[in-house]
Each structure stands twice: as C-alpha cells, then as structure tokens.
Chain A
Amino acid sequence: MAGGGARTVDCAVHPSIRQKDELREYMQEPWRSRPFPGPERYFYPAPMGEYAPEARADGGLPGSDPELAGRRLFTEMGVDCAVLIPLTRGLLADADLATAICAATNDWMAATWLGKANSHGRFYGSIRVNPGDPEQARREIERWAGHPAFVQVAVPMQAHRPYGQRVYFPLWEAAARHGLPVAVHADGGAGVDFWPSAAGYYSTFMEYRTLYPTNFAYHLASLIAEGVFDRLEELTFVFADGAHHMLTPLVWRMDKDWRPTRRETPWTKQLPSTYLRTHVRFCADRFEMPDDPKVLDGWLEITGAHEMLLFASNYPYWDSFDPREAFTSAAPGVRERILSENARALYKFKPGATTPGGQAGKPGPS
C-alpha cells in the first residue's frame, strides 16, 4: 500500500543534537559548564544497536540531521508532518540542572528543527519540562505556549511520584489551559530512577523493551484515581511509548474496583475506562500487534483503540515503524484514523508554523 497516505502524521520522532555538547550552546552558567549525562540510555543497551541504519548521520549522532530525517519521513515514508519529542537526560538528582537542560532543549529545538530547518513547516515540537520542579515546569510552559510550532508538553516516564499526585497539578493545569497535550516518553540519560519494574531490575534488553513502556500504567492509574481528568476537562495525556494493548485490561480491573472503592476517591466521578477515550492517547507500538489481523480488529474494536491510537515511527531507533506497513489490514476507516485523523483532532497544527525568522525563542531561565 502506498505510504500512509498524504495525510499521515508521525506522532513520535526523536531528534538529537549533532554532538554531545551542542546543548551547552543554549545554556548559561553555571549549567553550561556543569557535567551531565549524555543522551544515550544508561542501562539495557540494545543488542543489535539502538538506531536504524538509515538514521546514522554523517559526522553527527543518529537522528541529528533534519534534512536526512525529512527525506526519510516525508519523501520515502510519505509522512505529512511529524511531532518531535527530543529526549532529555533522565531523572537527574539536581532539579535545577534538569530544568536547565529542558529549557536548553526547547531553545535548541526552536532554533533548529523548528526554526531554520523547518522552512517546509512540517516539523512540530514538544515543550520539554521537568516535573521534578513543578513551578519551574509551569513557567517553561508559559514561556513557549504561544509558539505555534510547539504542539504539546513532554515529560519523562521516569518519576519519583506517579503523575496523578497533587504535587504535579499546577503543571497539568497550565498544559490544559493552553490546550497542550502532555506526552510521556521514556527518557535517555542516567538518573536517580527507581527500579524499572515493581520486582527490581530486569537482566535483559528484551525484558526492558517488553515491559518498560507498560510502566505508563502506574501514571495512568494515578491520573484517574486522583481525579486529575475530572478536574481538568481539557487535559489529554499521550503515552508516546505505546503499550495501549497492555494497559486496557488493567483499566478494566480499575473499572471493577471503582464502585467498591469510590468512597476513598470520590473525585473520580466516572468509570475509569471512560477517561481513556476522553483524555488519553497512545502512540502505536510496532511490536504490540497480534499476528492475526482479525484478532487485531477485534481488539481495537472492544478497546476503542481506533480512537486512541496514534501512528508513530519512533525514528531514528532500531524499531522504527514504517507507516507503509502499519495497520494495512485494519478495517476500513480505522487505518486513516490511526495514521492521521486522531492526531489532527488532538494537535493544533498550524501549517508553516516555524519559529518566526528561524530565530530562537526567548532566553531560558538563568
């Protein structure tokens, strides 16, 4: 089948700085000269290499060349526009350093991928913020909320408290007020993370790749149980690492417990699964599909996933999803929803929404 169609939206592309210290050009002291982890994930290296071969840029880190990315995404794969989610550096112990890295990442994006490299206007971005300092994160949202190319906020999956807990509320309130979805994605770097599972450390990359994305479930359960969606009607979370199929049965378990435990969480006014359609979206994971297309169709139908899934290539990683091969045997109309319509209903895409004059945005926090 021809590439996605002219309207395919790629909801997760992960651009990189060209070389490790490029980010420092967008930072001020004392952060500019402070050592901090590189962008690679610290644990569980992918045995065949982290990146797809075609993403390796000459003289730069994989995924660091916007022109190469554009050729791959727009020309070869037929994608219409892409939402960029740059990774930051993990759950750093120093909250101010983490905040500074986020701000620098946003400045770099505005100057490059959303600026001088965006004359085609097909790249959109995510405002990286550090939930470890919710007040600074809120300010960073306010700083960028007016920029037409930033279409969402992005936070790491790594956290020390599940995202429904009340300490984070000002951050989600700001995102919702500005009509910005919040994307959650596993971060790079090396941080002071808890164990990657509730039973400790995995041994292998296979376990990590199978299970780590399912950790969204802890955040999702928290957001529902703390009534965040009840309090913020406009808020949408995007789980950019996928795992929709694993999470739905867990929300069914919450459904069964909702009436019995309502007294403990009276602010959760609806059956938990109803919040999925209204408040949650998932990037599709290439590896979560059953072999049998009839089973997939059935699963999409009973979970309502055709409304919730967003196509994402996950470029430049080894497990990139090619839209030309995505959902090719889905029921009529479903493919179009997942590859295009759900994203266009979610994000406020303004064609040609480049940083004015290709300039960087306002200076970051000192």
Chain B
Amino acid sequence: MGRYVVGRTADLPPGSHRVVRAGRVGVGVFNVNGKYYALNNYCPHAGGPLCLGDVTGTTEDAGAYNVLWVRQGEIVSCPWHAWEFDIATGRTITEPTKAVRTYPVWVEDGQVILETDGDPGSAARRQQPGGG
C-alpha cells in the first residue's frame, strides 16, 4: 500500500494536473472543477504516458452538422494516439469502452493524498494490448 502526498491543494488548483512518480510509470493527479482524480499514467490502448496529455473539452454532435464544445476540462487525450478519456471515470468516451486504472485520491488537512495499492506498473502489465 502506498500513500503519497501529492502536494498542497493550493498547488493543484482546478484545471491543473501533475504526474506523481509513484509506481513504475507514474500516476496522474487531476483537479477537475475542484474534485481530485488519479489515473495510472499508462494508456490501455498502447501503453502511452496518458497523463502527459492535454486536458480539454471535446466535441459533441448536435445533429445536422451542428457541433457543440462540451465538457471543458473533463477530458484528457493520450499524447500518443489521442484517445479521449473522461478523467472522472478513467473510461474512454468512445465504445467499446477501455479504461485506465484509477486510484483513490482525497484531501486531508489541506494536502492532496494519493493511495496506490502496490505497483501500478504490475497493473499496467496485466492490461491487454489494446485493440478495437
């Protein structure tokens, strides 16, 4: 069991994220609209460093070639092949769903605490090479 102090909440304001050197490949800790989330830094598609990607919104089809920009700040795109993940759930916004491993993260006494259950790298190795 690993508990990490990621930093003070003031260091991780809404819209920010950082990669913590926990485990073999790191864990990304994100602040989305005031809530913290933690994702393994290993994309389930092909193993890219997911948490080094950009955090943005995305597009949504509104019918008849109308497009909306939605979910600003809620989506992280893998820097390798640009797969889009919902930060809050760690799941792709496309189907069939692929999910990145998520970890508990919370605030205690003004500090952001991350908990990993052992080596996230081993979890990464257990994931299948992606497809579909």
Contacts and interface: CB of A to CB of B under 8 A. Distances in A.
Contacts of B132: 255, 271
Interface stretch (A3-11, A259-267, A325-333): A259-267
Given A255-B132, A259-B94, A262-B94, A267 B82 contact: no
Nearest to B70: A266
Nearest to A166: B65
Interface residues of A, number: 17
A261 B82 contact: yes
A146 B60 CA distance: 38
Nearest to A260: B82
B67 interface: yes
Contact of A258 (B45, B60, B61, B94): B94
Contact of B83 (A227, A259, A269): A259
A28 B116 CA distance: 80
Contacts of A166: 65
Interface in A214-261: 227, 230-231, 255, 258-261
A266 B83 contact: no
B9 interface: no
Contact of B61 (A227, A259, A261, A271): A227
A262 B84 contact: yes
B83 A260 contact: yes
A266 B67 CA distance: 8
B92 interface: yes
Contacts of B61: 227, 230, 266-267, 269
Contact of A259 (B59, B60, B65, B81): B81
Contacts of A261: 82
B67 A260 contact: no
B60 A260 contact: no
Contacts of B127: none
Contact of A263 (B45, B65, B84, B95): B84
- For this complex, into which size category does the number of interface residues on chain B fall? 10 to 19
B57 to A, nearest CB: 9
A214 B112 CA distance: 57
B24 to A, nearest CB: 25
Nearest to A258: B94
Interface in A259-293: 259-264, 266-267, 269-271
A168 to B, nearest CB: 13
Nearest to B64: A231
A266 B68 CA distance: 10
Contacts of B67: 266
A231 B58 CA distance: 21
B49 to A, nearest CB: 16
A41 B52 CA distance: 56
A258 B67 CA distance: 17
Given A258-B94, A259-B92, A271-B132, A266 B59 contact: yes
A231 B65 CA distance: 10
Contacts of B64: 231
Interface in B59-99: 59-61, 64-65, 67, 81-84, 92-96
Nearest to B94: A259
Nearest to A226: B65
Contact of A260 (B59, B65, B81): B81
Nearest to A262: B94
A233 to B, nearest CB: 14
Interface in B110-132: 132
Most chain B Cβ neighbours within 10 Å, of A263, A264, A269: A263
Shortest beta-carbon contacts, A-B, top 4: A260-B82, A267-B61, A266-B61, A266-B59
18 contacts: A227-B61, A231-B64, A259-B83, A259-B84, A259-B92, A260-B82, A260-B83, A262-B93, A263-B59, A264-B59, A266-B59, A266-B60, A266-B67, A267-B61, A267-B65, A269-B61, A270-B95, A271-B96
